Amino acid sequence: MTSIRFPQLGLAPAPLFEEMEAARRNDVDWRRGRVALYVHYAGDDVLDVAKEAYQRFFSENGLGLKAFPSLRKFEDEIIAWTADLLDAGLDATGVVTSGGTESIFLAMKTARDWARAERPQAKEPEVVVPVSAHPAFDKAAHYLCMKVRRVPVGADFRADVPAMAAAIAPNTVMLVGSAPSFPYGVIDGIPALGALARERGLWLHVDACVGGFLSPFVRRLGYAIPPYDFSVEGVRSMSADLHKYGFTAKGASVLLLASRSLRSYLTFEFDNWPRGKYSVATFAGSRPGGAIAAAWAVMRYLGIEGYMRLAKSIMEARDRLVRGIAEIPGLYIIGTPDLSVIGVGGTGLDIFAVGEQMERRGWFVSTMSDPPGIHLGMLTLAHVAHLDEYLRHLAASAGEVRAQNLKANSHEASYGG
């Protein structure tokens, strides 16, 4: 810790904001498509709607839905609309959370408490997931005193369902599939997982954090999207992030449960203190009204038509990128991505060195470890105008690495931080 003291005197807005703008001087320029992660841009019109709605409900608190019927309406409609998109029946229920991590945490908590009632023989509850599942499952397991078994994926990078079946133990309570997985961008075989879950009496969670608000529209455009939602029997819960391809402000995701009867396992209730009964479905207590309001506003502003228009741009960009990369000697697309999450591997060259050459050219590069690759996690409208430049730089970088047999300074892949 440096010896920075809390300032005695306040600072006027003008110099204060000047200091903040100066602080962001070295931030990655996402508007110029320099980063394919963290920011989901759908155009300034969408951004303006989200900001306006966030500001109007800046002070309101989602902990107090009785005080703010507006937020209750927004949350109810967000959940109903999401249930409609993901083919959940009328009996479905859900909650707006702060993000994918919280949605996954709550799905695991709900499954754990359901298992305590329905599968009491599972004393130390375990979850079987493909190795490609998000770290949020292990993070939640850590907090919830559960255990995660990670099972290698198949040659197509999708969940190896027979191997997952073999990993089921007496303590197993839950199976997980991703739609799609973040490392490989492929949708796991949800129908096979659903059949397995039903046969073994297990909870199946589908993690559609990245694809939940993209797949429904990509499918409507005519792309082949395998079954992944509540239309598959056996799916009991799904996570879908509004702050990714829902294009709203960060701090918004949806957890859906297949049936209202499961809701009691989600909600936390407490009455042993002097202030009265506390009953909340989320991990968070106070919740930003702005995040809920902005999510509602963007969904209402875009409608299915608006999301389809955005999905079309994104998938066309994906197709251009895939075609362009296929033409660069030494590079290949890892697996067959179902949506817009793409890994780029190298043959006969050090792909991490290509990444470092791209960083030298001003791109913020994410990498993956298995197989080694450059990871393009979240293509959005910020990238469309810069695709040709990206491909030109990528070809030049790969060319340099090949010609000079360059090796990377670091072969460590990391996510976040």
Token digits for 60?
A: 């309101």
Question: 254 — phi, psi (to 5°)?
Answer: -120, 135
User: How far apart are alpha carbons 163 and 155 in whole angstroms?
Assistant: 12
Nearer to ligand PLP by Cβ, of 153 and 328: the residue is 153
Residue nearest to ligand PLP (CB): 100
Would you count residue 40 as binding ligand PLP (CB under 6 A)? no
Give one DSSP letter per residue of 253-276, joined into a string: EEEEES-GGGHHHH-EEE--STT-
Question: 160 — phi, psi (to 5°)?
Answer: -90, 95
Q: In whole angstroms, how close is the CB of 252 to ligand PLP at the nearest point? A: 9
Would you count residue 365 as binding ligand PLP (CB under 6 A)? no
User: How far apart are alpha carbons 71 and 77 in whole angstroms?
Assistant: 10
Q: In whole angstroms, how close is the CB of 382 to ligand PLP at the nearest point? A: 17
Q: In whole angstroms, how close is the CB of 349 to ligand PLP at the nearest point? A: 28
Site residues for ligand PLP, window 229-288 (CB under 6 A)? 241, 253
Size of the site for ligand PLP (CB under 6 A): 13
Please answer whether residues 238 and 229 qualify as being in contact, where contact means their C-beta atoms are separated by less than 8 angstroms.
yes
List 82, 110, 178, 340, residue binding ligand PLP (CB under 6 A):
178
Please answer whether residues 54 and 294 qualify as being in contact, where contact means their C-beta atoms are separated by less than 8 angstroms.
yes
**Contact letters (x/-) for ligand PLP, 126-145, by CB under 6 A?**
--------x-x---------
User: How far apart are alpha carbons 318 and 344 in whole angstroms?
Assistant: 12
Would you count residue 113 as binding ligand PLP (CB under 6 A)? no
Would you count residue 209 as binding ligand PLP (CB under 6 A)? yes
List 100, 185, 212, 373, residue binding ligand PLP (CB under 6 A):
100
Tell me how far the alpha carbon of residue 417 is from its chain's centroid: 16
User: How far apart are alpha carbons 374 and 362 in whole angstroms?
Assistant: 15
Nearer to ligand PLP by Cβ, of 246 and 346: the residue is 246
List 101, 172, 357, 397, residue binding ligand PLP (CB under 6 A):
101
Q: Which stretch binds ligand PLP (CB under 6 A): 108-116, 207-215, 313-321, 355-363?
A: 207-215
- Tokens 């937020």 map to which residue? 71
Nearest alpha carbon to residue 97 among 264, 280, 282, 248: 282
Binding site for ligand PLP (CB under 6 A): 99-101, 104, 134, 136, 178, 182, 207, 209-210, 241, 253
